[in-house]
Amino acid sequence: MTHVHVVGFGMGPHHLTGEGAKALAAAGYVLAVRKGDDDELLEVRRRICAEHGLELVEVADPERDRDDPADYPGAVKAWHAARVDAYAEELAARGGTAAFLVWGDPSLYDSTLRVLDRLGERMDLTWDVIPGISAPQVLAARHRIVLHGVGRPVHITTARRLPEAVADGQRNIVVMLGSERNLENLRELRDWRIWWGANLGAAGEHLVAGRVGDVLSDLHSAREAAREAAGWVMEVCLLRAPERTSAP
């Protein structure tokens, strides 16, 4: 029997909860994908492993079409299948208790739990999940805001689906997985208010807030500054439509 602890760790060792640290103490090794020779995100996991005396077992990340393919769900499904194969080989060879370190929280825009579901179909595997600090939580804390109005909903989506959310009438939207190209979609929302953050909780953290039309150039500059500081960018924002005025 092989067991896996899925541990959310926010944006680094300082966000690891006591429960997460306890799970790592019970693990024999950590499995993680390597996305290239200079994988800065892997280095954060390496630091966590060093602090907890754990071996980091690297698995080369399978190739994936990241250029917004026409069949996006199909591309992701194929990528997950390749990850299942890679993880299954390591877990079968090592057994024991492993851990996966997940950025933010495993419940939001992360594939680890879906991959483990598929792994559980082909090998004797059990797993549990330790929650982490999510990007929307840190965003709200940094800007000292509540993500929704009193008694109102908040819609969480990805940057590539922001136009769809706006067209559907959403007016209070947390947007994750942004990119430089996606910032251009904001030009259509000039009168909306934005609370934005890049690399929240990490070195090179940047914040921008204000009316979209007033801060759009600041967003581009802050994003580039975050990339220069860390070598990568993880961004999240809250977009809120102007209050509707009542008809006379």
CATH topology of domain 2-130: Cobalt-precorrin-4 Transmethylase; domain 1 (3.40.1010)
Question: Residue 102: beta bridge partners?
Answer: 8
- What is residue 40's predicted lDDT score, i.e. its pLDDT? 81
Mean pLDDT of the chain: 90
CATH topology of domain 135-240: 3.30.950
Q: Which residue has the higher pLDDT, 184 or 7?
A: 7
- What is residue 246's predicted lDDT score, i.e. its pLDDT? 53
Other C-beta atoms within 10 Å of 121: how many?
9
**Rounded-to-integer distance, Cα 51 and Cα 97, Å:** 18
- What is residue 115's predicted lDDT score, i.e. its pLDDT? 92
| pLDDT band of 165, cuts 50, 70, 90 | very high
* Comma-separated ranges of CATH 3.30.950.10 domains in the chain: 135-240
Residue 74 has pLDDT above 70, yes or no: no
* Comma-separated ranges of CATH 3.40.1010.10 domains in the chain: 2-130
**Rounded-to-integer distance, Cα 177 and Cα 235, Å:** 6
What stretches of the chain show up as alpha helix (H) in DSSP? 18-25, 40-51, 72-94, 112-120, 135-143, 162-167, 180-183, 212-230
- What is residue 81's predicted lDDT score, i.e. its pLDDT? 80
- What is residue 135's predicted lDDT score, i.e. its pLDDT? 96
**Rounded-to-integer distance, Cα 99 and Cα 205, Å:** 27
Model-wide pTM > 0.75: yes
| pLDDT band of 75, cuts 50, 70, 90 | low
| pLDDT band of 245, cuts 50, 70, 90 | low
